[in-house]
Amino acid sequence: MATPDTQRLEVHVFGAGEGESIIVQTPGGEWGVVDCFASSLTDPTTNAAYQFLERQGVEEIQFLCMTHPHRDHFRGMSQLLDRFKIRSFWRPAVLSGKRLEWLLESVRRDATKSGADKFLKDSEELFRIFSLVKEKKQTTGKPAIPRHAATGMQLLPSGSGAGNVEIWALAPSGRQIERYEDELSACFDADNRFVRAAANSSHNIASMALLIVFGETRIVLGGDVERSGWQDVLSEFDANQLSCHLVKVSHHGSTNGYSEGLWDCFSRERTPIAVITPYHRHRLPRKDALEHISQFSRVFTPCVDALRASEIPHEVSDVSLKSWLALRHRLKIRSHYIVPTFATIGFRSHLAPRTPRSTLKAVSMAIQRDRKRVIRRSAAIAFGQRDV
């Protein structure tokens, strides 16, 4: 495995038109995975996160995070739990005890009712993930530390083996947790008999969003948080705390994936990079959302083909493609097939005293200063991802 660069945080966003996975390598050389997607539950070669980590020679994952229980965010996570040692498993605070049982039962009943093999397999996968998390706890001696995330919670303390990186939960808020609890409890009557399944769309209510802080560099991973979730974030954090360099856009660029004023906060000090993972089947991102987001950011996607196929006006599509080309040019990435399959962005943080203006300069300079290393790394991980 390559020696970690103590001054660089890496974020890799995967998403090939369905599902997403984000891999974080901390400056201490530790690894984190936020969400996961494998098109085949029996074939880990369809799991981008799994493949990437294997190629890097990783044995241990510092944290594995399921932002929320939707198939495009958890499918294939059992493959990671089977293969790697997981030190900490993060989930929204609502997914434990009775509420977790309600969820698993609701998803199972819904899948059985639909009779569709795909949904049955997904429901088994969700059950298996939570079973494996428990199993690891019982058998490895070193238990996977459970973290039940809610707004304001620090999930990764700085000064740990992760170097100078902190990770905080921006969402879900207490209000969203209560909404989701109501949704799950309505699936059962007073005698705990199943009444109806939770609406599939309701699982986004519980979605986590993360804030990664690395010196002056701030990164928001938005999960699938929807409008009312972001309203809560805006009421609990001030704009300076949300000003950032990179945003993994929430809910695949849907029109309910942001709220009024959110992108003003994200872009308060600089124009951030926005990474959108398209969801082809649901025709995401949407034109209105992309127009809105691109007013405040430079939009990138790991999957240009899916972006092109979604409902996007020609001129916006051109902007996104141009921004991709600009990034490729800046990083001198030569391999064509890097573009449609994943975005990889390396930041060298600037650990100087808080001076927002110079930070902006430092980050953009850092990418250039670090250019050669970023190129090599990008090329090294561009292994046959076209098939994923």
Query: Which positions lie near Zn ion, rule CB under 5 A?
Result: 72, 224
Provide, rounded to whole angstroms, the least separation between the CB of residue 310 and Zn ion.
Answer: 14
Tokens 């974030």 identify what position? 233
Query: Among 338, 248, 351, which Cα is nearest to 297's?
Result: 248
Q: Which two tokens stand for residue 289?
A: 């959302």
Q: In terms of CB distance, is 22 or 374 closer to Zn ion?
A: 22
Q: In terms of CB distance, is 122 or 370 closer to Zn ion?
A: 122
Q: In terms of CB distance, is 224 or 370 closer to Zn ion?
A: 224
Order the strands of the 209-214 sheet from edge to edge.
154-156, 165-171, 209-214, 217-221, 246-248, 273-275, 298-300
Q: In terms of CB distance, is 72 or 125 closer to Zn ion?
A: 72
Q: In terms of CB distance, is 224 or 269 closer to Zn ion?
A: 224
Order the strands of the 21-25 sheet from edge to edge.
145-149, 88-92, 63-65, 31-34, 21-25, 8-14, 342-348
Secondary structure of 310-345 in HEC code, one letter for each residue: CCCCHHHHHHHHHHHHHHHHHHCCCCHHHCCCEEEE
Q: In terms of CB distance, is 238 or 311 closer to Zn ion?
A: 311
Provide, rounded to whole angstroms, the least separation between the CB of residue 71 and Zn ion.
Answer: 8
Provide, rounded to whole angstroms, the least separation between the CB of residue 357 and Zn ion.
Answer: 36
**DSSP assignment of 190-202, as one string?**
TT--B--PPPGGG
Provide, rounded to whole angstroms, the least separation between the CB of residue 208 and Zn ion.
Answer: 12
- Going by the DSSP 8-state scheme, the letter that residue 71 receives in this structure is H
The size of the chain, in residues, is 388
Q: In terms of CB distance, is 94 or 374 closer to Zn ion?
A: 94
CA distances (Å), origin 345, targets 131, 140, 296 = 34, 34, 19
Q: In terms of CB distance, is 254 or 267 closer to Zn ion?
A: 254
Q: Which two tokens stand for residue 73?
A: 């965010």
| 30: three-class secondary structure by DSSP | coil
Q: In terms of CB distance, is 72 or 269 closer to Zn ion?
A: 72
Provide, rounded to whole angstroms, the least separation between the CB of residue 107 and Zn ion.
Answer: 15
Provide, rounded to whole angstroms, the least separation between the CB of residue 313 and Zn ion.
Answer: 23
Provide, rounded to whole angstroms, the least separation between the CB of residue 19 and Zn ion.
Answer: 7
Burial of 227 (0-12, 13-18, 19+ CB in 10 A): middle
Provide, rounded to whole angstroms, the least separation between the CB of residue 35 and Zn ion.
Answer: 8
CA distances (Å), origin 27, targets 30, 81, 132 = 7, 23, 29
Provide, rounded to whole angstroms, the least separation between the CB of residue 98 and Zn ion.
Answer: 25
Query: Among 87, 182, 74, 185, which Cα is nearest to 128's?
Result: 74
Query: Among 250, 290, 257, 296, which Cα is nearest to 273's?
Result: 296
Provide, rounded to whole angstroms, the least separation between the CB of residue 170 and Zn ion.
Answer: 17
Helix (H) or strand (E) holding 351: none
Q: In terms of CB distance, is 110 or 224 closer to Zn ion?
A: 224
